[in-house]
Amino acid sequence: MEFEKPLAEWKGQVQEIKLSDKVIIGGEQVFPNYSFDGKCSNKPAVAIEINDVFPENWPENLKEIWNTDTLKSPVERAKKAEKEFGADIIFFDMIGTHQDRENISANQAAENMNAILKAVDTPVIVRPDGNFEKQNKIFAKCCELAERQIIIGSAKEDNYRTITASALAGNHFIIAEAPIDVNIQKQLNILITQMNFPLERIIMDPMTGGLGYGFEYTYSVMERIRLQTFMDDPFMIPPMVCCVGQETWKIKEIKIEDEKYGSKPERGINWETTTAIGLILSGANIVVVRHPESVIKIKNFIDSIYQKSDCLQQGI
């Protein structure tokens, strides 16, 4: 029987961003992953999260992978993430800069960042923690002192000026984070570009709700953002990043001890993988995870779903 494929026409295109020679994200000319409708140029990238201080609160089975003598320093962990675990991007989350934690200074934070930048070849997302005042100091320092181009996060509706100015001066990329809200996301993109920051250097973080903890909000908001992109809304074109690991490894569902829930380590990996894949389906261009097994599984998924398309392999 004759079947005429009901292909959809999508107007517009997700901004393609070249983060490094090997890592290019975005650029799809159709709804995410719909390569049968048209061109999806680049596969989503998988990032691994590395913290500046050792994250003691991670669950044991995740911690033990990262907590060996040889992996004491963040630099070693980042190297391992790149070389052995196949991270396309390193997500350097500086939890130690929080004023009520180690309160690492802005200068020290920039130094820590440069050590990572030197140790790995991947693009690096840098994100400080703390109140706005503290974060702003770090934005300024990191953007000024970074020895190569970085992706700095996160600009928010209430605090986007310093980070934007800093990234503008240092020619860096910026992550624009909105609280699971299409309109605020768009507004934030506009506000950032009104400071003369090019839209081509923005990556959106729609904020990730963990699976079982608001996942469906993020899922639908991302779909809606992309539908707006393809209604040719010029301000909704940036690619999207989702911080999956952070919203996975803290929830109670992965800590339950009970046979019917299966093995704990496997469950954690599956939870992280399921969340990441779900968000890739709704349009994530970068997913950030913590477990190396998750990286493998997610990449297998990506390879399979991009089988037919003539897209670029990340990291080659």
Partner 1 sequence: MALTGLQIFKLLPNKNCGECDVPTCLAFAMKLAGKIAEPQACPYISDEAMEILGAAQTPPIKKIIFKNGEKEISIGAETVMFRHEKTFVNQTLIALEMTDNLSAEEFENELKRIESYKYERVGERLEPECISLKNVSDDKNNYLLKLETIQSKTEKIIILSDCNAEIIKEAMQLVDNKRLILNKVEDLSETLNIISDTQTPIVLSAKNIEELLEKVEKCEAQNFKNIILSIDFNNLNELLENNVLLRRSAIEKGFKLAGYPILTECTEEDELHSAILGICKYSSIVLLKKFSGASLFPLLTLRQNIFTDPQKPLQIDPGIYQVGEPDESSPLIVTTNFSLTYFIVSGEIENSISPAWLCIVDAEGMSVLTAWSANKFSGEIVGKAILNSGIEEKINHKKVIIPGYVAIIRGELEDKLPEWEILVGPQEAADIPKYLKEIWK
Partner 2 sequence: MSKQIIELAIQGYQEQLNNTKAVVQKTENKIPADKKITFPETAYNLPLYFAFTGKKIHSISDAQNLIDEIEKKNSNIISADIDLTETLDLGIDTIILQELQLAVESSAGEQINFIPDNVLRSLGVQLVSGDISGIAVIIGAARDEETAVEIIRTLQEKNILSVLAADYEGKTMFEQLSNQNVEMTLDTYIVHLGNKTESVVLGLNWAIRAALTYGGLEGGQKEKCLKYCSDRIPAFALVLGGVDAKKVATAVGAIAMGFPIICNFEVPEISVKDDHGFEQKLLTFELNSNKLVEKCLEVRNIKVKVTEVPIPVRYSSAFEGERVRKEDVALEFGGKYSKAFEFVEMKNLDEVENGKIEVIGKKINEVEESSALPLGIVVYVAGRKMQKDFEPILEIRFHNFLNQATGIMHIGHRSFVWLRISKEAKKAGFKIKHLGTILQTKFLDEFHSIIDKVEIHIYTELEMINKFMPTAEKLYHERDQRMGAMTDESVDVFYSCTLCQSFAPNHVCIITPERLGLCGAYNWLDGKAAFQISPTGPNQPVEKGEVVNAEIGEWEGVNEFVYKASNNTLERFSAYSLIKYPMTSCGCFECIIAILPGTGGFMIVDRTFLEMTPCGMTFSTLAGVVGGGQQTPGFLGIGLNYIVSKKFVSAEGGLKRLVWMPSYVKERFREKLDKRADELVVPGLVDKIADETICSDLAGLIEFLAEKDHPALKMGELI
CA distance 253 to 199: 38
Query: CB-side exposure of 194: number of CA atoms within 13 Å?
Result: 8
CA angle 276, 280, 283 (to 5 degrees): 140
Site string for partner 1, 229-268 (x = CB under 8 A): ---------------------x-xx----xxxxxx--xx-
- Encoded tokens for 214: 């608001």
| Binder of residue 6, out of partner 1, partner 2, none (CB less than 5 to 8 A by kind) | partner 1
Nearer to partner 1, 179 or 234 (CB): 179
| Binder of residue 166, out of partner 1, partner 2, none (CB less than 5 to 8 A by kind) | partner 2
Length of the chain: 316
Q: How many chain residues touch partner 2 (CB under 8 A)?
A: 29
Q: Does 53 bind partner 2 (CB under 8 A)?
A: no
Nearer to partner 1, 69 or 100 (CB): 100
Nearer to partner 1, 1 or 316 (CB): 1
If one counts every other C-beta atom within 10 angstroms of the C-beta of residue 32, the result is 22
| Contacting partner 2 within 147-166 (CB under 8 A) | 161-162, 164-166
Picking from 185, 184, 186, 112, the residue whose alpha carbon sits closest to that of residue 150 is: 112
Picking from 254, 250, 267, the residue whose alpha carbon sits closest to that of residue 58 is: 250
Picking from 171, 159, 229, 161, the residue whose alpha carbon sits closest to that of residue 198 is: 171
19 pairs with which residues across the strands? none
Q: Does 191 bind partner 2 (CB under 8 A)?
A: yes
Q: Does 60 bind partner 2 (CB under 8 A)?
A: no
The DSSP 8-state label assigned to residue 30 in this structure reads: S
| Contacting partner 1 within 160-219 (CB under 8 A) | 179-180, 209-217, 219
Picking from 136, 194, 134, the residue whose alpha carbon sits closest to that of residue 163 is: 136
CA-based max dimension of the chain:
69
- Encoded tokens for 91: 């997500």
Question: In the bound complex, what is the minimum distance in angstroms from residue 36's beta carbon to partner 1?
Answer: 4
Question: In the bound complex, what is the minimum distance in angstroms from residue 12's beta carbon to partner 1?
Answer: 17
Question: In the bound complex, what is the minimum distance in angstroms from residue 307's beta carbon to partner 1?
Answer: 4
Q: Does 54 bind partner 1 (CB under 8 A)?
A: no
- Encoded tokens for 312: 């670029």
Q: How many chain residues touch partner 1 (CB under 8 A)?
A: 61
Q: Does 199 bind partner 2 (CB under 8 A)?
A: no
Question: In the bound complex, what is the minimum distance in angstroms from residue 239's beta carbon to partner 1?
Answer: 20
B/e letters for 104-137, b = 16+ CB within 10 Å, e = fewer, are bebebbbebbbbbbebbbbbbbbbbbbeeebbbb
* Contact window for partner 1 (CB under 8 A) among 106-114, 186-194, 231-239, 271-279: 271-279
Exposure of 303 by Cβ count < 10 A (0-12 exposed, 13-18 middle, 19+ buried)?
exposed
Amino acid at 138: I
Nearer to partner 2, 77 or 224 (CB): 224
Exposure of 81 by Cβ count < 10 A (0-12 exposed, 13-18 middle, 19+ buried)?
buried
Q: Does 168 bind partner 2 (CB under 8 A)?
A: yes
Binding site for partner 1 (CB under 8 A): 1-3, 5-6, 8, 33-36, 57, 98, 100-101, 131, 158, 179-180, 209-217, 219-220, 223-224, 227, 250, 252-253, 258-263, 266-267, 270-271, 273-275, 277-278, 281-282, 297, 300-301, 304-309
Binding site for partner 2 (CB under 8 A): 136, 139-140, 143-144, 161-162, 164-166, 168-169, 180-183, 187, 190-191, 194-198, 221, 224, 227-228, 231
